[in-house]
């Protein structure tokens, strides 16, 4: 059971930043790496284990920052993503965090996040922080940029300020319902961060067919035929354009001189 308030030297404080993720059979992919990465800058993690059968549960339980895990006996994602997201949100809400970061089990921020994100959270009056997500394509060095894969014009809401007592909803969509509630998408108080997110879901070519089949089936069920975006997963090599990842140079003033928070 998670504690709604965290203890810091005997004084109860709301956790500042909690990560929330849905996980389905991620043990042999990037899960351990991602959890370690998150542990650098979040106060705690909550997860919904969506019917994993590969020992994902063990990896989750071994993470020292894990506050709570809810396990679905049968996977909900293939049925309705909206339900899964709602389930995760409800779990996260029990922790009553100040902020939530909604990452997937195969995503990591670039290194700057550990210093800059906590600073941003303390000092902004925005409701949402949006980031660009870079889809690494068949490698861990290059990301895809053709067509709708181009990360440069797109920002996705990933970090949100949580308000206790407010009602939040996810659209009742079977797929692509987004990872933060609908209420945040209408907020004018968005901060667009220059910190980038690296998505490794497409980094291993072995995953492509499985994911393509999943999305293709969904498209046919919902729309009657596969969408161009889904089809582009299997695009011929000649039409796929990638760019090399350029490492961020760390800023020459990493510390803004703030106090360490209690964890």
Partner 1 sequence: MTSGRVAILTTNHFHPAGDRIIYGGAEKYGLELSRLLLSLGFEVSWWQIGDGWQKEILPGVLVRTLPATEAPFHTIPQLNQAFHERAVDHDYFIYFVTFLAYPQAMEPSISISHGVYWDYPGFDATLNTEADRAEWRRRLWIALSGPRRVVSVDTATINWVAATFPGLVSRFEYIPNFVDVAAVDATEPAGKAPGRIRVVYPRRLTTVRGINEMVRVAEVLSGRYPEVEFHFIGRGHQDEVEKDMMAWVSRHPGTYYYWLPPEDVLRVLKSTDIAVIPSKAAEGTSLACLEAMAAGCAVIASWVGGLGNLIIDGYNGLVIKPTVQDLLTSLERLIRDEDLRVFLGRNARETARAFDLPVWQQRWRKVIQSIFV
- Could you tell me the CA-to-CA distances from 259 to 121, 224, 256 in Å, in that order? 14, 56, 9
Sequence-distant (6+) residues with CB within 8 A of 69 are 46, 47, 48, 49, 57, 60, 61
CB nearer partner 1, residue 41 or residue 134 = 134
Tokens of 247: 């490492």
Residue 143's beta-bridge partner residues? 136, 243
Beta carbon of residue 81, minimum distance to partner 1 (angstroms, whole number): 22
Q: Which is nearer to partner 1, 81 or 127 (CB)?
A: 127
In angstroms, give the least distance from the CB of 246 to partner 1.
5
Distance CA 118, CA 97 (A): 14
8-state DSSP, 128: E
- CB nearer to partner 1: give 188 or 236: 188
At residue 117, the 3 state secondary structure works out as helix
Interface with partner 1 (CB under 8 A): 119-120, 123-124, 126, 130, 150, 152-153, 155, 185-192, 194, 243, 246-249, 251-257
Nearer to partner 1, 132 or 218 (CB): 132
Give the number of other Cβ atoms within 10 Å of residue 236's Cβ: 6
For residue 96, the minimal CB distance to partner 1 (Å) is 23
Smallest gap from Cβ 128 to partner 1, in A, equals 9
The residues that bridge with 128 in the sheet, in sequence order, are 160, 190
Is the CB of 166 or the CB of 247 nearer to partner 1? Answer: 247
The nearest distance, CB 167 to partner 1, in angstroms, is 17
Least separation in angstroms between CB 245 and partner 1: 10
Cβ closer to partner 1: 64 or 153?
153
Q: Is 258 exposed, middle or buried (0-12, 13-18, 19+ CB in 10 A)?
A: exposed
**Which residues lie across from 97 on neighbouring strands?**
none
């Amino acid at each position: 059971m998670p504690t709604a308030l965290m203890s810091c030297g005997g004084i109860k404080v709301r956790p500042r930043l909690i990560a929330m993720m849905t996980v389905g059979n991620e043990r042999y992919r990037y899960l351990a790496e991602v959890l370690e990465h998150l542990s650098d800058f979040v106060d705690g993690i909550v997860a919904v284990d969506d019917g994993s059968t590969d020992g994902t549960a063990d990896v989750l339980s071994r993470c020292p920052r894990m506050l709570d895990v809810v396990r679905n006996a049968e996977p909900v994602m293939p049925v309705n993503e909206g339900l899964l997201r709602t389930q995760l949100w409800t779990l996260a809400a029990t922790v009553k965090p100040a902020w939530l970061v909604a990452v997937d089990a195969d995503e990591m921020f670039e290194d700057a996040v550990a210093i800059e994100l906590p600073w941003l959270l303390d000092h902004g009056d925005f409701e949402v922080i949006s980031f660009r997500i870079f889809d690494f394509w068949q490698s861990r060095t290059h990301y895809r940029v053709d067509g709708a894969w181009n990360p440069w014009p797109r920002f996705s809401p990933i970090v949100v300020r949580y308000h206790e007592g407010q009602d939040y909803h996810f659209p009742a969509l079977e797929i692509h319902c987004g990872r933060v509630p609908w209420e945040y998408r209408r907020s004018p108080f968005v901060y667009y961060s220059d910190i980038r997110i690296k998505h490794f879901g497409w980094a291993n070519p072995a995953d492509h067919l499985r994911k393509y089949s999943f999305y293709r089936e969904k498209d046919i069920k919902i729309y009657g035929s596969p969408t161009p975006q889904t089809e582009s997963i299997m695009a011929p090599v000649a039409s796929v354009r990638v760019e090399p990842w350029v490492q961020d140079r760390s800023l020459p003033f990493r510390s803004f001189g703030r106090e360490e928070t209690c964890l």
